[in-house]
Amino acid sequence: MSLDGAVERREDPPAGNGNGNGAVAVALPTGRPTYGDRRLRLNPNTEHKPERYDDLETEFDPSIFSSLERHLPPTMLEVPRDAKVQFMKEILARYLPEGERTRVQRHKEYRQKIMSAYQPLHSDLYNMEPTTFFMPPFIKAINDNTEESFRSIMSEPSPGVYTFAMLQPNFCELLLEEVENFEKWVNAVKFKIMRPNTMNKYGAVLDDFGLEPMLSKLMEEFICPMSKVFFPEVGGSTLDSHHGFVVEYGKDKDLDLGFHVDDSEITLNVCLGKQFSGGELFFRGVRCDKHVNSDTQPEEILDYSHVPGQAILHRGRHRHGARATTSGHRINLLLWCRSSVFREMKKYQKDFSSWCGECQREKKERQRHSVAATKLAFLRSGGSII
Ligand SMILES: O=C(O)CCC(=O)C(=O)O
Ligand SMILES: [Fe+2]
């Protein structure tokens, strides 16, 4: 897809073939008290620390329960965990269409199949170990946890695009070996894997072969502190799920990546290596759905060259693409971070001038017009402007 064409929306591929259309009535469990008459709070109780639900055997992602808990009516916060779970399951069953439930269930089975057979090469990668994963200045900045400390390790080559040295070379090496090992296994057992999203033929979803808990920690403990500060208007303070994957470019792999927006609120993109030329990212301004194909303003143009170990953090709605990797082999780690609260609120909003460049431009234009019209009316009425 060229820059002249429409911007694509890059999404994870659907698992299974659930149709995902239309809501259907879902039977509620019988024989137990239900809490269907109680209403959720519209705004989350951000002071409340939700329980963890990682141990739950349901078709829903455990993070959904933790997020939903903040919306429980105050009296429900006091009841035992089991009762909270039942209440939340009833709500989810009412709102999640059957097609989506089937899709979630199939994806879960797909992951279980991989996890029961795949033997990790480097088990150290599966537990978050900051001192072996990250560069010391990055760890210090996160520990200090202030805007100043983050900015001290970052560049902001264009508004809303942050770059910083993040991963240690040895960690990049181990992760590359793990991905290679996973792909070898996939080929050996002829397993049909799902690619990271709709625009890549190569690459792998890290969450699918056991790295999900480690990536959740990465998001919660290392990305959220920064996104709270730099991207609060797009859900940066309420990130609650992620999609973690690697993309691979080179001869016999994907060459480039068309102009698109990510299915994320915040995207972390870190180059893992290896040796390559080309593959630059190009950015062309942040846009809401309505303005996704609007013109780029000159000040929105940014080209960025990847450096192994170096991270780039941007809004998912920041339009971008990757130029051809002209030689060698380039592999990048991508973490699409999402906020269910932001997505829900967005449904009821029309003006995105706090982050969409085109909404902002239109708003300024309207303000200019209204000031000019007021001046004119004033002059016509015989007044004078000092
Ligand atoms: O190739 C890259 O570095 C960009 C990847 C990207 O934008 C994506 O996967 O959404
Ligand atoms: Fe992207």
The response to whether residue 312 sits with its C-beta less than 6 Å from ligand 1 reads no
Q: Which of 96, 114, 142 is the last residue of a domain?
A: 96
Q: Is there a single domain that holds both residue 252 and residue 132?
A: yes
Please report which helix (H) or strand (E) contains residue 84, including its range. helix 81-95
Q: Is there a single domain that holds both residue 196 and residue 135?
A: yes
* Strands 8-10, 257-262: pairing kind: parallel
Assess if residue 18 is contained within a domain. Answer: no
The response to whether residue 334 sits with its C-beta less than 6 Å from ligand 1 reads yes
Q: Which of 56, 74, 96 is the last residue of a domain?
A: 96
Mean pLDDT lowest among 57-71, 110-124, 296-310: 57-71
Query: Which pLDDT belongs to residue 26?
Result: 26
The response to whether residue 332 sits with its C-beta less than 6 Å from ligand 1 reads yes
- Distance (angstroms) between ligand 1 centre and the Cα of 247 equals 7
The response to whether residue 359 sits with its C-beta less than 6 Å from ligand 1 reads no
CA distances from 173 to 101, 137, 141, 281 (A): 37, 20, 24, 22
Round the average pLDDT of the chain to a whole number and report it: 89
Q: Is there a single domain that holds both residue 269 and residue 314?
A: yes
Which of the listed ranges 22-26, 71-75, 171-175, 373-377 does the model predict with the highest average pLDDT? Answer: 171-175
Q: How many domains does the chain contain in total?
A: 2
Q: Is there a single domain that holds both residue 150 and residue 48?
A: no
Q: Which residues contact 164 (CB under 8 A, 6 or more apart)?
A: 138, 141, 153, 154, 155, 310, 311, 313
Q: Is there a single domain that holds both residue 161 and residue 302?
A: yes
Mean pLDDT lowest among 13-17, 76-80, 93-97, 304-308: 13-17
Q: What are phi and psi of 140, to 5 degrees?
A: -65, -45
Query: Which pLDDT belongs to residue 386?
Result: 54
Per the listing, tokens 């590359």 go with 176
Mean pLDDT lowest among 30-44, 223-237, 323-337, 346-360: 30-44
Sign for the CA dihedral angle at 109, 339, 126, 193 comes to: positive
- Distance (angstroms) between ligand 2 centre and the Cα of 149 equals 27
SS (H, E, C) 355-386: CCHHHHHHHHHHHHHHHHHHHHHHHHCCCCCC
The response to whether residue 317 sits with its C-beta less than 6 Å from ligand 1 reads no
Query: Which pLDDT belongs to residue 92?
Result: 82
Given a cut of 90, whether residue 228 has pLDDT beyond it is yes
- Distance (angstroms) between ligand 1 centre and the Cα of 320 equals 8
Q: Is there a single domain that holds both residue 60 and residue 161?
A: no
- Distance (angstroms) between ligand 1 centre and the Cα of 221 equals 23
Question: Which of ligand 1's atoms lies nearest the C-alpha of 257?
Answer: 1
Does the interface predicted TM-score (ipTM) exceed 0.95? yes
Question: Which of ligand 1's atoms lies nearest the C-alpha of 199?
Answer: 9
d(CA 222, CA 171): 16
CB contact at 8 A, 315 and 233? no
Question: Which of ligand 1's atoms lies nearest the C-alpha of 271?
Answer: 3
Assess if residue 77 is contained within a domain. Answer: yes
pLDDT in tens, 302-347: 999 999 999 999 999 999 999 999 999 999 999 999 999 999 999 9
Pair of tokens at residue 370? 């209204």
**Atom 4, ligand 1: which residue's CA is nearest?**
322
Q: Among residues 266, 250, 239, which one has the least CA distance to residue 332?
A: 250
Q: DSSP string spanning 115-178? A: HHH---S-GGGGS--HHHHB-HHHHHHHHHTSHHHHHHHEEEEETTEEEEE-B-HHHHHHHHHH
Assess if residue 320 is contained within a domain. Answer: yes
What is the Cα gyration radius of the chain? Answer: 23
* Average pLDDT, integer, range 358-374: 94
- Distance (angstroms) between ligand 1 centre and the Cα of 132 equals 25
Q: Is there a single domain that holds both residue 86 and residue 39?
A: yes
Assess if residue 83 is contained within a domain. Answer: yes
Q: Is there a single domain that holds both residue 89 and residue 206?
A: no
Assess if residue 121 is contained within a domain. Answer: no
- Distance (angstroms) between ligand 1 centre and the Cα of 188 equals 28
Give the residues across from 303 on adjacent strands. 282
Given a cut of 70, whether residue 10 has pLDDT beyond it is yes
d(CA 201, CA 195): 6
Assess if residue 367 is contained within a domain. Answer: no
Assess if residue 247 is contained within a domain. Answer: yes
Q: Is there a single domain that holds both residue 90 and residue 143?
A: no
Please report which helix (H) or strand (E) contains residue 214, including its range. helix 212-217
Q: Closest ligand to 269 CA?
A: 1
* Average pLDDT, integer, range 104-118: 93
Query: Which pLDDT belongs to residue 27?
Result: 30
d(CA 371, CA 122): 63
Q: Is there a single domain that holds both residue 80 and residue 138?
A: no
The response to whether residue 325 sits with its C-beta less than 6 Å from ligand 1 reads no
Which residue range(s) make up the domain with 29?
25-96
CATH number of the domain enclosing 142: 2.60.120.620
Q: Is there a single domain that holds both residue 222 and residue 74?
A: no
Assess if residue 354 is contained within a domain. Answer: no
CB contact at 8 A, 336 and 316? yes
Q: Where does the pLDDT of residue 74 fall: very low under 50, low under 70, confident under 90, or very high at 90 and above?
A: confident
Given a cut of 70, whether residue 36 has pLDDT beyond it is no
Given a cut of 80, whether residue 24 has pLDDT beyond it is no
